[in-house]
């Protein structure tokens, strides 16, 4: 199964809600970081990808779309590998994004800082910012530069810049699918993330 949607937006830009939305719209199953937690044996494939030996067909076997880390770190390669896929770039206010990361994925006691078998996996996709992940100026600049790189690289007809809270319409128009009658998913709030990590 070739990917139909490649998510280039960084984690904490509404990617968990987008995962559910893409599943509802029929372009799933959608790969998200939670899939690696559910299938930790796949972490080795991502470590190999970071070493320059990606096997995208194995990584995305059974998936129809991808959002969030670790895939977002490899958006350029994945978009090139699946040239028919559309690119979905999720964004939010950079300052709000930074605040969210510090309370969740990059928190001092968060998943990326814990020792154990997943440490090498987290290191494999965080190299660009690992030494600066608590530096607000660096990270907000990194966030903005990331978006500009995507805009410069992906043709506009293949790209949707999507901001959390925009709902179904722009996403459905981009994917050329009907708008569902159900509310747009709203998942993985800061409180939900923290509760899940602690459990």
Q: How far apart are the first and last CA of the chain?
A: 34
Full strand arrangement of the beta sheet holding 86-91: 30-31, 65-66, 5-7, 86-91, 159-163
Q: Which alpha helices (DSSP H) does 65-155 contain, by range?
A: 75-81, 94-103, 119-125, 136-153
Strand partners, 151: none
Q: What CATH number does residue 94 fall under?
A: 3.40.50.300
| Mean pLDDT estimate for the chain | 91
- Residue 27: Cβ within 10 Å count: 21
d(CA 171, CA 179): 9
pLDDT digit string (tens) for the chain, length 199 residues: 799 999 999 999 999 999 999 999 999 999 999 999 999 999 999 999 999 999 999 999 999 999 999 999 999 999 999 999 999 999 999 999 999 999 998 988 777 666 666 888 998 999 888 899 999 999 999 999 999 999 999 999 999 999 988 999 999 999 999 999 999 999 855 445 444 444 4
Domain extent at residue 49? 5-198
Q: For residues 147 and 91, is the Cβ–Cβ distance under 8 A?
A: yes
* pTM of the predicted model over 0.85: yes
Condensed to tens digits (0 to 9), the pLDDT of residues 14-56 reads 999 999 999 999 999 999 999 999 999 999 999 999 999 999 9
Total domains present in the chain: 1
């Amino acid at each position: 199964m070739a990917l139909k949607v490649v998510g280039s937006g960084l984690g904490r830009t509404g990617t968990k809600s987008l995962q559910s939305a893409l599943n509802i719209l029929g372009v799933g199953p959608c790969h998200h970081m939670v899939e690696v937690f559910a299938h930790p044996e796949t972490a080795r494939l991502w470590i190999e990808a970071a070493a320059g030996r990606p096997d995208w067909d194995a990584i995305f076997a059974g998936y129809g779309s991808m959002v969030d880390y670790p895939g977002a770190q490899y958006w350029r390669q994945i978009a090139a590998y699946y040239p028919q896929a559309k690119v979905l770039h999720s964004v939010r206010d950079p300052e709000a994004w930074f605040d969210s990361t510090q309370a969740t994925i990059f928190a001092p006691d968060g998943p990326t800082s814990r020792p154990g078998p997943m440490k090498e996996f987290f290191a494999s996709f965080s190299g660009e910012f690992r030494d600066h992940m608590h530096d607000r100026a660096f990270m907000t600049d990194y966030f903005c530069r990331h978006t500009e790189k995507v805009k410069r690289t992906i043709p506009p007809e293949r790209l949707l810049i999507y901001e959390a809270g925009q709902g179904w319409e722009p996403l459905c128009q981009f994917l050329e699918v009907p708008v569902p009658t159900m509310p747009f998913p709203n998942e993985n709030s800061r409180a939900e993330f923290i509760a899940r990590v602690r459990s």
